[in-house]
Structure 1
C-alpha cells in the first residue's frame, strides 16, 4: 500500500489535495477523516477559542512510519492508498487539525485503514496541545504524564 503523503505542517491543511493524492482508477472507495478544532472539550472548563499544537522534531518522520505500519498491518496486499497530515501551531475554532484520506478498490478496506490510521496518529504521534479558553485559562493535554 503506498503512503502517498504524510505531513506535519504549520500550513493550513488542504483536503482536496490529499484526496487527489490518493485517487486512482482502481479506487472504488475513498474515505476521509477531517478533525477540526471545536469550541469545547471535556478537559476544558470553559469555551475553547484556540489550540496550539507542538510537535516533537521527529514527528514529520514518524507520521509516515505510523501510516506505513497501519498499511502493513491492515493491507498486506497493498491495494489502498494513504495520505495523512497533521497541522501544528495555533489553530482557531473550525480550522482543520488532522486529515486522513484512504482510497481502495472496496469500501471495507478504506474504512478500516482510515479508522486505524486516525487512532494510530492520535495515539502515537508525539504532538501536544495547549488549549486556550475564552476566560484566559490554558490547559495542556497529550503530555504523557498521567501515569508519571
Structure 2
C-alpha cells in the first residue's frame, strides 16, 4: 500500500516538473536578467506545432528554435516589444497566446462577453416562459357544465350507488 502511494506521488511530481524540462540547459542565458525576460516573453508566445502551449512549455523543435531566437534578439539588445514585433511580423498574430487588442482582433475580444450576455438573456427568457406557462396552467379551470350535462352526471352518479 505504501509502495503504491509512493509511486503515485512520484508520478504526480514528475508530471508537475514536465513543463520545466522544455527549456534545455544549453538555451539558458548566463545573464539572469536577460533569462528572466526571455522566460517572460516565451510564456506569452504560442508554439506553432502544439498551438495551445507556450514555447516555454513545448518540446517541439520549432518551439526550441523560437526560444533560441528570442534569446538571440535579447542578447542583440532588442527590447521586449521589439522581439514581439519581430515574431509577429514573421509568424503573424497567431504566435501570441494573448492577442493584442486592436480593431482587427475586436471579434476575438468581444466573442466571450457577447456569448455570456446572450446565454444570460436566453436563460432569463426561458425562465420567464416557464413561469408564464405555469401561471397559465394554474389559471385554466374546467369548463362549467350545462344544466343538461349536470342532470345526466347526477343520474349516472345516482345509478352507480
Whichever structure has more helix as a proportion of its residues is 2
Alignment TM-score > 0.5, same fold: no
Structure with higher Rg: it is 2
Q: TM-score, normalised by structure 2?
A: 0.20
Bigger relative contact order (CA 8 A; separation at least 6): 1
